[in-house]
Amino acid sequence: MMWTEEQKALRAGLAACLPAVNEGHLERDAAARFPAEAWKLVADTGVLGLAVDERYGGLGQNLLTTMYVLEGLGEGCRDAGLSFSVSTHMVSTGVALQRFGSARLKAEYLPAVSAGTAIGAHAITEPDSGSDALAMRTRAIRDGDHFVLNGSKAFVSNGPVADMVVVYARTHPDAGPLGITAFLVPADTPGLVRGQPIAKMGLRTSPLCELFLDDCRIPASHVIGRVGGGFLVLDHVMQWEILCSFVIKTGEMQHRLDRCLEYARTRRQFGQAIGSFQAVAHKLVDMKIQLETARSWLFATAERSLRGENITTDVAIGKLLSSEGNVASALAAVQIFGGNGYTTEYGLEKDLRDAVAGTIYSGTSEIQRNRIASMLGL
């Protein structure tokens, strides 16, 4: 793909801050600490407002350019948790408001979302509805010019540090997918209570928690899109979430491949570079194939989306290629580095722990395969 000088400049502007962002990333992973100072460094480059209109403080870029710059985040940022928090923030609130928000909501919230001075999250999953997300039970009942929300949400990325959360709740109990509505809920709204941060295998610098809604009153003006139109918002946001958060993974895969190639050329055993052993070289070849197929598929899917084509199947395939390719590449990297790969010092075991999450969030691998099967008429 040919990128313009303007697109390259945006990516280079972000890359310049990443060495400072990376400082201490292994220590904060061990401490499971959200890096507020690194967040600010990234925010100051303007990247959080890439897809937001200029009149709301954003850079007014399209999906392809946004993905190209975010791929650079994956390539240069060694804190995959921070990168995940960045993409979650951008799509959960930025993309939802930009595409479906009222003029009033956009004017009130998008400038802070673009600048990163307010952090966003979204709450879809519930304790009893994960893969079957549309079975959500959190209720929103109209009361004059407000809605009253009650229920609980599980696994809210950025939840512990969020200033606002897009909560998906059921406004019509019997209307299936058409009974869901998206609400912009400021985190300090009475009745919204956060659980403790949840300890997890990877992405430890991206904090995660439950949310409890107990008679939480939200003005009707905080509905994003239409009442009963939450599924449309969610569908659009999930397509962006998969394309944006997984193109970051291809950047990570590129960096990992470069690192492994360098190691395979310089690490010597039995009097020769380990890369000269076919068993090692083939691992590197597979890493290359996984990277190139995932990357070209994701960008081609974005191009199709911009042409207005239906990308339901393509997004599911892209998610599988990039998430499963990333796990395979991270596992191969540990093996290529041998004992060093298994130590925390080299950061490769962290890569593997971080990568596993990608086969679960934004719809598990099994659900993506189900989606493709149903698009095939099965």
Residue numbers annotated as active site? 241
How many alpha carbons lie under 13 Å from residue 34 in its C-beta half-sphere?
20
Residue 26 binds ligand FAD, judged by CB under 6 A: no
Cβ-based nearer residue to ligand FAD, 68 or 100? 100
**What part of residues 61-90 is at the interface with ligand FAD (CB under 6 A)?**
88
Map residues 329-358 to x or -, x wherever contact with ligand FAD holds by CB under 6 A. ----------------------------x-
Cβ-based nearer residue to ligand FAD, 10 or 97? 97
Cα→Cα distances 191→163, 220, 277, Å: 15, 16, 61
Map residues 207-236 to x or -, x wherever contact with ligand FAD holds by CB under 6 A. -x----------------------------
Among 156, 169, 237, 333, binds ligand FAD (CB under 6 A): 156
Residue 109 binds ligand FAD, judged by CB under 6 A: no
Q: What does the alpha-carbon distance between residue 345 and residue 322 come to, in Å, rounded to a whole number?
A: 25
Instruction: Please tell me whether residue 214 adopts helix, strand or coil conformation.
Output: strand
Q: Which residue has the tokens 């061990």?
A: 30
Stretches 29-37, 97-105, 117-125, 296-304: which one binds ligand FAD (CB under 6 A)?
117-125
Q: What does the alpha-carbon distance between residue 85 and residue 101 come to, in Å, rounded to a whole number?
A: 21
- The CB density around residue 167, as the number of other CB atoms within 10 Å, is 30
Residue 370 binds ligand FAD, judged by CB under 6 A: yes
User: Which tokens sit at 259?
Assistant: 């690192």
Residue 237 binds ligand FAD, judged by CB under 6 A: no
Cβ-based nearer residue to ligand FAD, 283 or 371? 371
DSSP letter at 144? T
- The CB density around residue 303, as the number of other CB atoms within 10 Å, is 14
CA angle at 23 for the pair 18 and 24, rounded to the nearest 5°: 140
**List of residues contacting ligand FAD (CB under 6 A):** 88, 121-125, 130-131, 155-157, 203, 208, 357, 360-361, 363-364, 366-367, 370
